[in-house]
Structure 1
Amino acid sequence: MAIMKHQIPFMKMHGLGNDFVIVDSRISPIQISVQIAQGLGDRHRGVGFDQLAVINDSSDADVALSFYNSDGSIAAACGNATRCIAQYEMDRLQVDSLSMITERGLLAAQRYGDMVSVNMGHPMLDWDKIPLARPLDTLRLPLDGAPTATGMGNPHCTFFVENAEAVDLAQLGPIFENDPLFPERTNVQFAHVVGKNLLRMRVWERGVGMTLASGSSSCATAVAAVRLGLTGRKVEIQLDGGMIYIDWRDDGVWMTGATLHVFDGVLTTQFLESLR
């Protein structure tokens, strides 16, 4: 594995406590390996993150983004990291809108005061697009609790329960993440209806574990709630890290929330060489 022989600057950001290390590869090129992603993601020996995001140039959008989970696996979508990077890039360019390309496709971002909105695209509702292991009704899967499956560039499994706070997420999350119905594993959400168009949701992220928030999980939960007739298409979701706002429009699922650029740092040559 090739290890960089120079220092690599990075940014630490979070969206509602969903935290990220972000590397601008346009400034300092970096090739991410499983070892580098895992080493950076170690909260004791590295920096620590829920996801690692890398910014690159693109001929098809203002920027290109790629994402990695803390276990080193690739994440095709990461809604909150996308919002964080959109805020950073709009500040840098002094604009209020932006286009970004990810494995999910071309995404649009808008600034509204101190909030950032990203269109996460149309949800995938067909079993083979999510994907599931076999043809099934994605509205109610044949699992305990009859969860709903949704694709948002990554797979999601959403349970609506009486009280999301009472769910043992640490126990149930990894069980459903690795259920054979999901050949690529899945993100897992437990949610309940608090009031009209208001949900409480907790999340277990694929390749990460319990997190304070998840943008794509919030989108998937809102879509599942609409499909089940529990809410309208404009939904507020209370996450462990704060409030996020989801609006399933004709052009896709828009996600709005706060972001924060916490600090900048530098990955030393010594640290990078330790990942051999």
Structure 2
Amino acid sequence: MKFVKMQGAGNDYVYVDCFKEKIKNPSEIAIKVSDRHFGVGSDGLILICPSDIADVKMDMYNADGSRGLMCGNGARCVAKYAYDHGYVKSENFTMETGAGIKYIKVEPKDGKAEYINVNMGKAVITSEFPEKILINGEEKEFIGVDIGNPHAVYYIDSLEKLQNMDLNRVGEYYEKHERFSQKVNSEFIYIKDRKNIYMRVWERGSGETLACGTGACASAFATMKKGACDTSVRVHLLGGDLDISLENDEIYMRGKAEYVFTGEINF
């Protein structure tokens, strides 16, 4: 199986060009390639596929083999690959995802996609505002957001506390809490000012990652609805920055996507 490893803000996946390759057991392959010691090493597997209803299709699988609905950083990487390899013929095109059709705009440089803008659609608040919850014996508050996949946004009152959180120890208590029947992506946010927020994320099925595009959008949206930031905000993640804006009730994400390396693996 030929593959390319790509990353968006440090959120890295193994990508397979299914215009050329055929994958029979993607869930099983996702587990194998994601292993950072015995596999390629990634947050999951994403298949770049033809689509009957859009210009290109993204089919994603988490590191534990579970199927994902949407990945904002993954969408940017798929967009870059499809544009750079001529699978789409315009700087504006559509992408089929598990969360519906997404609208892409590429900002090219020297004939290759440099920045990618994704119209992530509308987000919905799915909880009380905020809602109290007991996590591992401690009372917390979160704001639930659905942006094609479920998120719970928690606010931390200092950057130091955010940086010192031991997510490897407590992350699963958030992800697998009984409040969330299908598990949940959990974002932890520090608001620096009205134009900058800092974020760490525990993704369902993958654990802590360096970035999560849908999580950045969900966190920005929740913070905007709180009135704590502007309708255009920069989200600082462990792997890089994303610019998130709200226009006519739709969320837009802008950021880069980059190739890491290509390879071939036998199973």
Decide: shared fold, TM above 0.5: yes
Q: Deviations over 1:199-228 (max 9, x none)?
A: 011111111111111101000000110111
User: 30, 37, 49: which is aligned to 1:44?
Assistant: 37
Structure 1 residues without counterparts, runs of 5 or longer: 1-7, 128-135
Within a 5 Å distance, the mapping from 1:50-129 to structure 2 comes to: 50-93=43-86, 95-113=90-108, 114-125=114-125, 127=126
Instruction: Report the 3-state secondary structure (helix = DSSP H, G, I; strand = E; otherwise coil) of the residue aligned with 2:124.
Output: coil
Instruction: Report the 3-state secondary structure (helix = DSSP H, G, I; strand = E; otherwise coil) of the residue aligned with 2:132.
Output: coil
8 Å contact 1:226–1:232 — kept in the other structure? yes
**1:160 is the counterpart of 2:162:** no
8 Å contact 2:12–2:42 — kept in the other structure? yes
Within a 5 Å distance, the mapping from 1:163-202 to structure 2 comes to: 163=158, 164-202=162-200
Instruction: Report the 3-state secondary structure (helix = DSSP H, G, I; strand = E; otherwise coil) of the residue aligned with 1:222.
Output: helix
Question: C-alpha distance in 2, partners of 1:153/1:31?
Answer: 26
In structure 2, the residue matched to 1:140 is 130
Question: C-alpha distance in 1, partners of 2:218/2:116?
Answer: 19
TM-score, with structure 1 as normaliser: 0.87
Instruction: Report the 3-state secondary structure (helix = DSSP H, G, I; strand = E; otherwise coil) of the residue aligned with 1:47.
Output: coil
Question: Number of aligned pairs?
Answer: 252
In structure 2, the residue matched to 1:131 is none
Instruction: Report the 3-state secondary structure (helix = DSSP H, G, I; strand = E; otherwise coil) of the residue aligned with 1:145.
Output: strand
8 Å contact 2:104–2:118 — kept in the other structure? yes
Q: Please report how far the alpha carbon of residue 251 of structure 1 lies from its aligned counterpart in structure 2 after TM superposition.
A: 5.8
Deviant stretches of 4+, over 3 Å = none
In structure 2, the residue matched to 1:247 is 245
Structure 2 residues without counterparts, runs of 5 or longer: 109-113, 134-138
Q: Deviations over 1:179-205 (max 9, x none)?
A: 111111011111111122210111111
In structure 1, the residue matched to 2:21 is 28
TM-score, with structure 2 as normaliser: 0.90
**1:12 is the counterpart of 2:5:** yes
Question: C-alpha distance in 1, partners of 2:119/2:150?
Answer: 17
8 Å contact 1:90–1:98 — kept in the other structure? no
Q: Please report how far the alpha carbon of residue 151 of structure 1 lies from its aligned counterpart in structure 2 after TM superposition.
A: 0.8
